[in-house]
Structure 1
């Protein structure tokens, strides 16, 4: 005898079929949602890369002035290191972001590695004039070993693992950037309150930019000016603050002088 539609066994079959169908719909909806997010993520804001493209020639010109007016060979070398790392940062970033879609996949991958690696170089390059010009030789060498050793390790990390999660490598940038906090008293003695204030302000701006980059928030206009553009804005203003601090150090400080 066949079970009737109201038979308990039939009801269980219908319930299982319904639950299975609902689960499939949920999974499909989730896949569609994830796919939509991926599509949105690949559509870059129209201003992506333009900020750093405009900053590159300014950083180059400012760097040339900084080096040309430096009073000593030591100051010129330290200023040149800072300027070169800044131009590399902004120039590579502009090339990578503005050239997206025009380069081969292999070239884009190389530029991405360089773009991320240059962040470590600008950190070490920024602290080089302060270490050389504002600290006693022993302390200066120690700071240089710390920041350049960390920068080289960071470059290798980003080049060898370009797909590392954002939550992992972003704090590494911030940590290396704040290594020199332990040397602020020395910077204060030989550079003064203005230099230390500018160093701290630039570091804070870089940190805020890293938070925006790491969290992807705020993202005001994904079509024109998204979270990445805010991040780039922070890096530009932070560089400007550090440029002024380096200028004071280069033009007015003598290594080891009180």
Structure 2
């Protein structure tokens, strides 16, 4: 197996994520079309769904493909860059559907500007310290906390809870990635594989938040 797939567990967990994201995108678009029919809502959830597909497809490709070192290095840059794309994609329905108005658009512009900076940063300075990348991911993800008073007025308690759980799960995953804890090293599974599972968990929480409470 390892002759053909570099990291089977990492690759297959995020291949599963990519496949389920396609189904999730379809479900979101259908629900948005039926519930409101708003072009803005449909566009917002489409962006979210595509960002999920991009992240998990890039990750699965990077972890599964056996290729020359320079190709693997390029795929790794794309893999890490897609984290910024997913963060921006997840914010999109929150900004444009839940918050809306001037506040929503301001946050949308801020997040997408940061995401663009993040992608360029990863492509240009990939060897940046691990802690710096982790800090950027976490800081960008938690900017929403400054908008929580406004968001709590338009998003139900259940929706806020799912949003929070997703953020916490992603953050725990980020710290696992950064710290590489030795106690999470097992025979066939290590910190990186567990990190992947936390990322999947965060995506599930945020998907259900958007599907049930944002739309």
TM value normalised by structure 2? 0.91
1:145 correspondence with 2:109: yes
Equivalent residue, structure 1, for 2:50? 84
Report deviation, 1:117: 0.5
Which residue of 2 is the match for residue 229 of structure 1?
Answer: 193
State the alpha-carbon separation in 1 of the partners of residues 214 and 137 from structure 2. Answer: 25
C-alpha distance after superposition, 1:40-97 (max 9, x if no partner): xxxx765232211112111111111111221321111000000001000011100000
1:110 and 2:74 matched: yes
**Partners of 2:14 and 2:196 within 8 A in 1:** yes
Preserved contact between residue 201 and residue 241 of structure 1 (Cα < 8 Å): yes
Structure 1 moving runs of 4+ over 6 Å: none
> 1:249 Cα deviation (Å)?
4.0
Q: CA deviation at 1:114?
A: 0.6
Matched residue SS, 1:48: helix
Contact 1:133-1:249 at 8 Å conserved across structures: no
Verify the 8 A CA contact 1:46 1:224 in the aligned structure 2: no
Gaps of 5+ in 1: 1-43, 252-258
Name which of 47, 50, 54 aligns with 2:12.
50
Unaligned runs of 5+ in 2: 1-5
Aligned length: 205
Secondary structure, counterpart of 2:184 in structure 1 = coil
Counterpart-to-counterpart distance in 1, 2:14 and 2:199? 9
Task: Return the match for 1:246 from 200, 204, 210.
Answer: 210
- The residue number in structure 2 matching 1:68 is 30
Q: TM-score, normalising length from structure 1?
A: 0.76
Structure 2 Cα separation of the partners of residues 178 and 189 of structure 1: 18
Which deviates the most, 225-234 or 179-188?
179-188
Match of 1:189 in 2: 153
Provide the secondary structure at the position in 2 that maps to 1:91: helix
Deviation string for 1:203-225 (max 9, x for gaps)?
A: 0000000010000114322x421
> Higher helix proportion, which one?
2
Q: Which has the larger radius of gyration?
A: 1
Instruction: Give the CA deviation at 1:136.
Output: 3.7
Task: Please say if residues 55 and 79 of structure 2, whose CA atoms lie closer than 8 Å, have aligned partners that are also in contact.
Answer: yes
Partners of 1:187 and 1:195 within 8 A in 2: no
Q: Is 1:158 aligned with 2:122?
A: yes
Over aligned residue pairs, what C-alpha RMSD do you find? 1.4
1:219 is aligned, of 146, 165, 184, to 184
